[in-house]
Amino acid sequence: MAEDWVAAEVPLAIDYNDAPHVVMMATPDDLADFALGFSLSEAVIATPAELNSCTATTLLEGIRLSLRIPPARAQALAQRRRNLVGNSGCGVCGTQHLEDVLRHPPRVAAAIAVSEVALQRALAELEHRQPLNALTGATHAAAWARADGSLAHVREDVGRHNALDKLIGAVARAGDDVRTGFLVVTSRASYEMVQKAATVGIGFIAAISAPTALAIHLADATGITLVGFARDDGHVVYARRSTED
């Protein structure tokens, strides 16, 4: 009889200053990275230093992340409270207001120029840097690549948004400059993925699958170079930052 490995997926509740904010279905790994990355990519905080503490508590129902942020940030968050239950494949499920869904980040400060050689190196390395997916076949990955294509960080999760948030947290905790690297994801490039990347200043995204029309629009508007269908035999550029920027 052969063994079969399956990916964990548990409810993950996030509270800010004791006020419930969101419940996500996620893989319960790299929780500190997730807490920081989610807080940054959702514009709850502006800098890593504003996340004052993060405490994880395992409950019968799932895991609770209790986060402390400055009072002014908590007050601003209360004004746009969305208290949602998000599943592992959706970044906006349960959002109460259209402006929460279509939050428009500012234009990114800079976008790195990535060579085809660097992109191919990143894709090749990522194929061998997904231990959870190798065991289960059920997770997405998000990777942070240096300018030469070598991978600095990789994070996995059953949800593509969660994997990206974990990666953003890892990059922030390491103090990496987002202007000097690029993002590679194993999922499609949805609007929410581009929105999260733009919010933290990432200027180049390469997705193994396709982008959506709204993702392309947002990439154009925020000055992000967006590549889709990134494979070992080529890729498609859907949005490119102007050389005049």
| Residues assigned a catalytic role | 90
User: What residues does 217 pair with on adjacent strands?
Assistant: none
- How is the beta sheet containing 53-58 ordered, strand by strand? 53-58, 63-68, 10-16, 19-26, 84-86
**Spatial contact of 167 and 33, defined as CB atoms under 8 Å apart:** yes
CA dist., res. 12 & res. 62, Å (int): 6
- Give the sign of the dihedral formed by CA 61, CA 25, CA 129, CA 138: positive
Tell the residue number behind the tokens 């996030």, with chain if given: 14
Residues 6+ apart with CB under 8 A from 102: none
Eight-state DSSP code of residue 216:
H
CA dist., res. 212 & res. 19, Å (int): 34
CA distances from 34 to 26, 128, 209 (A): 10, 22, 23
Structure tokens at 161: 């948004």
Give me the half-sphere count of Cα atoms (radius 13 Å) on the Cβ side of residue 148: 2
Q: What is the 3-state secondary structure (H, E, C) of 9-34?
A: CEEEEEEECCEEEEEEEECCCCHHHH
